[in-house]
Amino acid sequence: MNNTIIKVIHLSKIYKTEMLETIAVDDVSFEIKKGEFVAIMGPSGSGKSTLMHILGALDRPTKGTYILDGENVENLNDDELSDIRNRKIGFIFQAFNLLPRTTTLKNVMLPMTYGGVPKEKRTEIAVKYLQMVGLGDRMYHTSNQISGGQQQRVAIARSLVMDPALIMADEPTGNIATAQAEEIMAIFQKLNDEGRTIVMITHEPDIAEHAKRIILIRDGRIVSDSNNKQKRFSSSTSDKANKKQLLEKKI
Ligand code: ADP
Ligand code: MG
């Protein structure tokens, strides 16, 4: 069994305008295996979003190879790309990207509508994931009637309904308050404990510290790639208990 979910080899992305050429991603190679929780961290302008768009099959590299869950993205046409996105990747964006004036339930059901899941199944699955992110009592609120942190939890529920091989988040806590950001990180850690693969892009060290591995990029290049030994546990009650247990085990 192949347990590599992302493999990039000498990947580059160059934006060309009449005046200027920008090398946004510059000859990057790495692998991510199933079950990892990886933070890609770097300052603004370092190429994080560009890299995420390529990893998310939303854009193609200028040079290099990208193999997503065993499929070489280079060989796929646009329809195949959008199909692979819908089946394999759950996206979470900084700005939540929910439909406004639409219930959280409908928002969460949307990928399944595109994915051809039967209607009764769609509701059942959407309710399950809304409950999982703690929003079982907000199913009929519209997305503009809930807080930023809650909106991001809806987006997380939405990212899970097609049971993706990979969850990709671009600055998931960028638009929300610190306490709510911790709740989001608690959910990510729980999802990862359940075996889900997460790639999270952030410019905030405090947020990256929740991941198991941190890839640091600057000017489109990897400057370090290491296991995160000081993994931060989120402050939810269950995680506090978890941390206490781990500490006790050490003694
Ligand atoms: P980050 O997400 O880390 O802030 P980006 O991937 O958005 O970085 O941008 C990386 C570099 O590429 C920046 O210098 C940015 O100005 C440039 N860039 C991003 N998108 C475009 C584009 N569509 N056209 C030209 N240059 C771009
Ligand atoms: Mg960005």
Q: Which domains does the chain have, with CATH numbers?
A: 4-250 (3.40.50.300)
pLDDT digits (tens, 9 = 90+) for 132-189: 999 999 999 999 999 999 999 999 999 999 999 999 999 999 999 999 999 999 999 9
* Among candidate residues 60, 62, 50, 71, the one with its CA nearest the CA of residue 4: 71
Per-residue model confidence as pLDDT tens digits over 72-83? 998 899 999 988
DSSP 8-state class, residue 170: E
Q: How far is the CA of 5 from the centre of ligand 1 (A)?
A: 25
User: Distance of CA 45 to CAs 8, 24, 49, 73, 202, Å?
Assistant: 20, 8, 9, 25, 12
Q: What is the mean pLDDT of residues 93-108?
A: 96
Pair 152, 92: CB distance under 8 Å: yes
Task: Please tell me the distance between residue 45's alpha carbon and the centre of ligand 2 in angstroms.
Answer: 7
Residue with tokens 């907000």: 138
Beta-carbon neighbour count of residue 219 at 10 Å? 14
Inter-residue contact 9 to 61 (CB < 8 Å): no
Q: Phi and psi (nearest 5°) for 192? A: -70, -40
Predicted confidence at residue 248, as pLDDT, reads 54
212 — phi, psi (to 5°)?
-90, -20
Taking residues 22-34, report their average pLDDT. 98
User: What is the residue with the minimal CA distance to atom 20 of ligand 1?
Assistant: 50
Please name the residue ranges forming H helices in 115-236. 119-132, 148-160, 178-193, 205-208
Distance from residue 130's CA to the centre of ligand 1 (Å):
34
The radius of gyration of the chain's CA atoms, rounded to the nearest angstrom, is 18
Nearest CA to ligand 1 atom 7: 49
* Residue 45 Cβ contacting ligand 1 at under 6 Å: yes
| Type of residue found at 125 | I
Q: What is the DSSP letter of 175?
A: T
Q: How far is CA 85 from CA 20, 88, 237, in A?
A: 31, 5, 34
Ligand nearest to the CA of 14: 1
Give the pLDDT confidence of 206-246 residue by residue, as tens digits: 999 999 999 999 999 999 999 998 778 775 545 555 555 55
Please check the confidence at residue 1 and state whether its pLDDT lies above 70: no
Integer Cα distance of 30 and 7 in angstroms: 6
